[in-house]
Amino acid sequence: MTGGRSDGILLEKTKKAGCIRLTSSKGKEVNSEYGGGPEGAQALLCGCSFASVFLFSEGGASVISNVVHQLNEEIRDKEIRLIGAEGQQLGIMSSQEALKIADEQGLDLVKISPQAVPPVCKLMNYGKFRFEQSKKEKEARKNQHVVEIKEIRMSPGIDVGDFNTRLKNAQKFLTEGNRVKVSVRFRGREMAHTEIGRELLKKFAEQCAEVATMDKAAKLEGRNMSMFLSPKTGK
């Protein structure tokens, strides 16, 4: 299973946590217990046409990757357009002729554009392709940042100490890349002096000016006046 083509690999559940079981699509066992982890499992999937890769743990199974390309003998179109391993155009030919070329070069025939007329296929090491794709997806997930909206709440009569504490928290949230909603809650007769809350929010925004921009100005809704701050983007 280190190169060439295979007839497809499916992974079956094994009772041992952290292990996977590899069997071919025809039911022939390839590797009964593989415990090398997701990356190692991908490396074993050389030339598989369709596979669902599961990693089993004590808590159950999780999907690592789904392979959905048609390749090799699965491609039965009368004519296909063939692209070489280096991207060169090899012309229009029968799928049988393209498969023969793949055999001669020790590569896989992979359908990359099934909707084209005729369908477009490419010669490649499919196992290596899937392994590289898995690494790229993993790196993208690692670098992905989910923006959260943090909320800071104040009252019109907040004292200086509490104001500064909330200010520091907001600045921390903003430097971490999150948006911040700053709200002032009015109670009872405080509704007659909403301008105090507006001035408080204005002062708060000015103190955050080095790390934030106001993307939604202060607005009164019911008994709450709120504004939204977003982190400054680098130039």
| CATH code: domain of residue 95 | 3.10.20.80
Task: Residue 131: count other Cβ atoms within 10 Å of its Cβ.
Answer: 20
pLDDT tens, position by position, 137-179: 888 877 766 678 899 999 999 999 999 999 999 999 999 889 9
Answer yes or no: is 222 within a domain.
Answer: yes
pLDDT score of 11: 35
**Structure pTM?**
0.42
Strands (E), the chain: 9-12, 20-24, 29-34, 51-57, 60-67, 80-83, 89-93, 108-113, 120-124, 149-154, 179-185, 212-221, 224-231
Question: Which has the higher per-residue pLDDT, 5 or 82?
Answer: 82
Residues 153 and 120 occupy one common structural domain = no
Residues 205 and 154 occupy one common structural domain = yes
Residues 6+ away with beta carbon under 8 Å from 170: 150, 152, 180, 182, 204, 208, 212, 229
Answer yes or no: is 156 within a domain.
Answer: yes
- Separation between Cα atoms, residue 229 and residue 235, nearest integer Å: 18
CATH classification at residue 206 = 3.30.110.10
pLDDT score of 234: 62
Answer yes or no: is 195 within a domain.
Answer: yes
On the CB side of 144, how many CA atoms lie within 13 Å of its CA? 8
Averaged pLDDT for residues 184-198: 94
Do residues 34 and 73 make contact, with C-beta atoms less than 8 angstroms apart?
A: no
* Token reading at 108: 């896989």
Residues 107 and 181 occupy one common structural domain = no
pLDDT higher than 70, residue 43 = no
Average pLDDT, the chain: 75
pLDDT higher than 70, residue 187 = yes
pLDDT score of 127: 87
pLDDT higher than 90, residue 201 = yes
Single out the residue of 183, 182, 178 nearest to residue 230, CA to CA: 178
Residues 115 and 156 occupy one common structural domain = no
pLDDT higher than 90, residue 44 = no
Answer yes or no: is 219 within a domain.
Answer: yes
What's the full length of the chain, in residues?
A: 235
Answer yes or no: is 189 within a domain.
Answer: yes
Residues 119 and 192 occupy one common structural domain = no
pLDDT score of 145: 63
- The boundaries of the domain holding residue 204 are 149-231
pLDDT tens, position by position, 86-132: 999 999 999 999 999 999 999 999 998 888 999 999 999 988 888 88
Residues 96 and 162 occupy one common structural domain = no
Question: Which has the higher per-residue pLDDT, 9 or 128?
Answer: 128
